[in-house]
Chain A
């Protein structure tokens, strides 16, 4: 436990030093080399952020974006796990679905923005769909991979303890896929955050993506930087929480790595 804590403290200290150095470099670059309108200084960015925090607009943009990420991501995870599990479970379905997935995978969520507008209009449904799409592909692939890579010995062990097909699936195959599903969820969360800007390019009136897009029109790079930094910070915080939440579960499965 104390070793764990020391590790966390170490990592935090390293993160603080690394970020401080980067901000100093940014400040030096902004004041000595760059045109202020193109590269706002950290202080100018902080000032813009303070104003937006004080009038509550930053908080509101964050909440709106998070809500969109959450809906698209949640739906993507649920649907992805179901389809992925079916692909792993029903051999023929998996066989026929795989090539389609390979075709869909290179199509980025951004490429689907126009189509999404035609299908779902310019409301939130479109934005959910963009995020959902990025998430669901990853979740399907990871779940299918997890379901089909259950160790044979584990299946055999369960079978001689009396497990029938249905029980094997529910009590052995799906739990065995959990590390793959959790890893997929973590990767997909990153994609959901990347997708939010694309999603909010669609006639949005709020959200971090909207903030970034709009500050381009107004040539307010300081606000743009506030948006970018907010995206980075939010994503990193949520990813860290996620990592802490799944570490215990992963530890059970990753025996060799833990002992190494």
Chain B
């Protein structure tokens, strides 16, 4: 896979009101206040995923949620995406409550096979969001191909998802998200299933896109190194049930970051220890 990309020539048009979009005015902060989520409430298999979780992400920030598997990271993401509603507490972008999914918050899933539409070609997959808004197909496809250039997939526009590698599928998914111009990009362990080299290239490209598009990114991972490589702030989550963000780390390192730097490894040790406390507890109890 090539790591190169076209010089971006896209200019972002003015943001128009979009379906389901919460913020009408410029917002400054995405916030979760004392949010609890209980699945199957009142039934024998009742499970409290989140309990009194607080989270504040500034507009334009790159925020990493880090935690052991099953700790409720994805639940936070599903809440912000509007896929699920909290049992208690508030989730807001600025002063607007999040009630349903909208194109201002687009998710990039880890499971690319199901996330892409297998019956559509790459450019049609990417244009999907625009065509939903009633943009003419030709126009939507042409804009899709422009953005495929930005993520380095231009030559693969005519392929079907099954003809793409894992990394290319993930690029396709990112391009599809970018085309609807989300305010917040929600990423659920997007590169966890990729090989080490594709992963590193995509991490770098993600940082470039984040800076170029001035998006807010909430990125879920269980990889400490990845979180320090990418994020401005890292929130470590308690293990479930009843999870919440227990500790935050500011990453005051300039991009591009290198794991070999002293400051990087010093922070790595601290974050790793915070994460280990959670894994350790779960190891003792099981």
Interface positions of A (Cβ within 8 A of B): 151, 153-154, 156-164, 167, 171-172, 175, 178, 249, 251-253, 255-256, 258
9 shortest interchain CB distances as A-B pairs: A161-B129, A151-B114, A159-B101, A153-B114, A160-B101, A162-B103, A162-B19, A252-B118, A162-B132
Q: Of B18, B20, B106, B117, which one neighbours A154 at CB under 8 angstroms? A: B117
Q: Are B180 and A157 in contact (CB under 8 A)?
A: no
Main secondary structure of the interface of A (DSSP, over half): helix
In the complex, which of the residues B109, B132, B176 contacts A153, with contact meaning CB atoms closer than 8 Å? B109
The residue in A153, A158, A162, A252 that gathers the most chain B C-beta atoms within 10 A of its C-beta is: A162
Say whether B128 faces chain A, with CB atoms less than 8 Å apart. Answer: yes
- Establish whether residues A161 and B115, one from each chain, have CB atoms under 8 Å apart when the complex forms: no
Q: How far is the CA of A154 from the CA of B173 in the complex (A)?
A: 12
The smallest beta-carbon distance between B172 and chain A, in angstroms, is 12
Q: Point out the residue from B20, B81, B116 that lies within 8 Å of A162, measured CB to CB.
A: B20
Task: Say whether A162 contacts B129, CB under 8 Å.
Answer: yes
B175–chain A nearest beta-carbon distance, Å? 12
Which residues of chain B are within 8 angstroms of A258 by Cβ–Cβ distance? Answer: 162
Residues in A neighbouring B205, C-beta threshold 8 A: none
Decide: A162 near B107, CB < 8 A? Known: A157-B115, A253-B118.
Answer: no
Q: Which residues 105-127 of B have a CB within 8 angstroms of A?
A: 105-107, 109, 111, 113-119
CA distance A156 to B176 in the complex (A): 14
Chain B residues positioned under 8 Å from A253 (CB to CB): 118-119
CA distance A154 to B176 in the complex (A): 13
Beta-carbon contact of A160 and B103 below 8 Å: yes
Chain B residue numbers with a CB within 8 Å of A163 are: 132
Q: Besides the contacts A153-B111, A153-B115, A162-B18, what 19 more A-B pairs have beta carbons closer than 8 Å? A: A151-B114, A156-B81, A157-B115, A158-B132, A159-B100, A159-B101, A160-B81, A160-B107, A161-B103, A161-B132, A161-B177, A162-B133, A162-B180, A163-B132, A164-B132, A175-B119, A249-B119, A256-B113, A258-B162
